[in-house]
Structure 1
Amino acid sequence: MISIQSGAALAKGLFPVVGAAGVTALRVGFSALILLAVWRPWRRGPERGEVGATVLYGAALGLMNLLFYLALRTIPLGIAVAIEFTGPLAVALAGSRRTLDFAWIGLAVLGLGLLLPLGDTASLDPTGAALALAAGLCWAGYIVFGQRAGRSGGGRAVSLGMLVAALVVAPVGLAEGGADLFTPATLATGLVIAVLSSALPYSLEMFALTRLPRPAFGVLMSLEPAVAAVAALALLGERLTLLQVAAIGCIVAASAGITVASRRSVKIPPDTGSST
């Protein structure tokens, strides 16, 4: 999450050069190349049922990145992250069965609500908000399909999924960025964004997806707005208000609570070594 938010700050600065779709194409394209080189998924053929899950996972991944960057053109980063979290929270809610689970999710929702500047919602661009919400729906699909794809091996799944994501976003990115995508400075910045925002964090998330219950993963990811707020303070000089500090406390408590509850009630599958 720290890596993703650092990459997001860098990516937004590149929007005036190649557009949001162009930055997405650079991010996902370089990430695919890096992950393919590291994991070399062609060393064995696809297993039964693996292709469909990987394609759905990759499509959700590509659309999630594209829609989120498109939303960032017109609404602030913190608000976009908070709206996008409707996706993983919905996944967590769908997988909950006990009253205590709903209590932790309610606390996370409260924290997200406190992070939103509710008094300024009238000034939010409706198109940007809708794009962030659509990115959240894709995030939910990323969690669901990522777990299925990851059963064949985390590194293999994330590299093939990123390749599918690159194929999904490349036409849109090329149409918007054009020849400016291929200047040395733009390519170098795109490579850094890819490492920070996709290659490293998505690999780590794939390992988490295959080892955590779905509700626990979904609510743990609700730390993202809190990390975004801290990154904004560190990288952009944006100071936190007391209300934002309270919101972060709610989210951290909810994440810790759902994790402890899930570890007690669900046996986490052991590492089978399939990722090596």
Structure 2
Amino acid sequence: MLSVQLGAALSVDLISTIGAAGTAWLRLTFGALIFVAIVRPPVRSLRRRDLPGLLGLGITTGLQTVTFLAAIERIPLGTCVAIEFLGPLTVAAARSRHVRGFIWPAVALVGVIGLTEPWQGSVDAVGIGLALISAVGWGVYIVLTQHVGDRFEGLTGLSLTVPIAAATAGIIGIPQAAGHLTVNVLAVGAGLALLLPVLPYAFELLALRRLTTAAFGTLMAVEPAIGLLLGLIVLHQRPSLIQLLGIVLVVAAGAAAQRGGRRGQLT
């Protein structure tokens, strides 16, 4: 979570140079090159039944990365992450097998309203919409990452899906970045690729082999607070008192959403 949010905060300057989609494409491309070089994916041994999961995760990852970076271009990082967290929180609630689990996404939504402060009249509807799309993508990403992680050993799944994610982001990202790819931009993109996608995607895949999606989504409750803190430290985005209370509600909802976390026997 720290790697994801630090990478997001440090990407703001790059976004202003090559755009959100261009930044997503560049980071994912370098990440794909790293995974392929380390793992050397067994493309020839793939089975037809593996393709839907790989394609689904790759495309979802690409779209989620683009929409998230486009959102933080328009709204504060902490607010964006809190909205995006509705995705994994909903997954946690849906997998909790208790009707009361759906109370917590509602509590988190109240917190998000506090974060966006619509009564102030300065709501960026496009930024919030992009964050909501990213939230859906994040929820789907969690489910598909666990699915792919169960089918492939080590980091093989990532070596197959991150190139697909890079190609997906490249549909918009390549035209957006064209003409702005200096040596400095490439160096920054390569460095940011280590923060996201390389480190967090690898750790998330390994974590989801050991945790239920509900427990994983619950643990991610800390991420909005990390996003708020790094937004303050790196981007000097100062939250109001109501926004701080909103973050507390989001984190509390995530912490209460699910208590169990141990996975059963894999099938």
TM-score of the superposed pair, with normalisation by structure 1: 0.84
Residues 72 and 80, structure 2, Cα contact 8 Å, conserved in 1 = yes
8 Å contact kept, 2:22–2:173: yes
Q: Counterpart of 1:79?
A: 79
1:102-152 CA-partner distances (Å, limit 9, x unpaired): 4555554454444333433x3222222222211212112212221211112
Q: Specify the code of the residue in structure 1 equivalent to 2:28.
A: V
Instruction: Name the CA shift for 1:208/1:46 in 2 (closer, same or farther; >3 Å).
Output: same
Alignment of 1:61 with 2:56, yes or no, is: no
Tell me whether 232-241 or 57-66 shows the greater mean CA deviation: 232-241
| C-alpha contact (below 8 Å) 1:92/1:215 kept by paired residues | yes
Unaligned runs of 5+ in 1: 272-276
1:147 corresponding residue in structure 2: 146
**Residue 23 (structure 1) aligned with residue 18 (structure 2):** no
Aligned residue number for residue 88 of structure 2? 88
Q: RMSD value over aligned CA atoms?
A: 2.5
Q: Distance in 2 between matches of 1:186 and 1:110?
A: 39
- Equivalent pair of 1:151/1:210 in contact (CA under 8 Å): yes
**Whole-Å Cα distance in 2 between the matches of residues 257 and 90 of structure 1?**
12
2:93 aligned with 1:98? no
CA contact (8 A) 1:35 1:159 kept: yes
Contact 1:226/1:248 (8 A) holds in 2: yes
Partners of 2:221 and 2:255 within 8 A in 1: no
Contact 1:108/1:222 (8 A) holds in 2? no
Q: Identify the match of residue 263 of structure 2 among 252, 268, 272.
A: 268
- Aligned-partner Cα distance in 2 for 1:157–1:269: 21
Q: Structure 2: where are the runs of 5+ without partners?
A: none
How many pairs does the alignment contain? 265
One-letter code of the match for 1:262? G
1:134 maps to which residue? Answer: 133
Q: Secondary structure at the match of 1:53?
A: helix
**8 Å contact kept, 1:105–1:219:** no
Q: How far has the Cα of 1:66 moved from its partner?
A: 0.8
Aligned-pair CA distance for 1:64: 0.2
**Percent identity between the aligned chains?**
38
State the match for 1:211 in structure 2. Answer: 210
Partner residue, 1:274:
none
Checking the alignment, whether the CA contact within 8 Å between 1:21 and 1:69 is kept in structure 2 is: yes
What is the CA–CA distance in structure 2 between the aligned matches of 1:86 and 1:257, rounded to whole Å? 14
Q: Distance in 2 between matches of 1:253 and 1:73?
A: 27
The TM-score with structure 2 as length reference comes to 0.87
Q: How far apart, CA to CA, are the structure 1 residues paired with 2:105 and 2:253?
A: 7
Partner AA of 1:169 in structure 2: A
The range that moved more, 53-62 or 111-120, is: 111-120
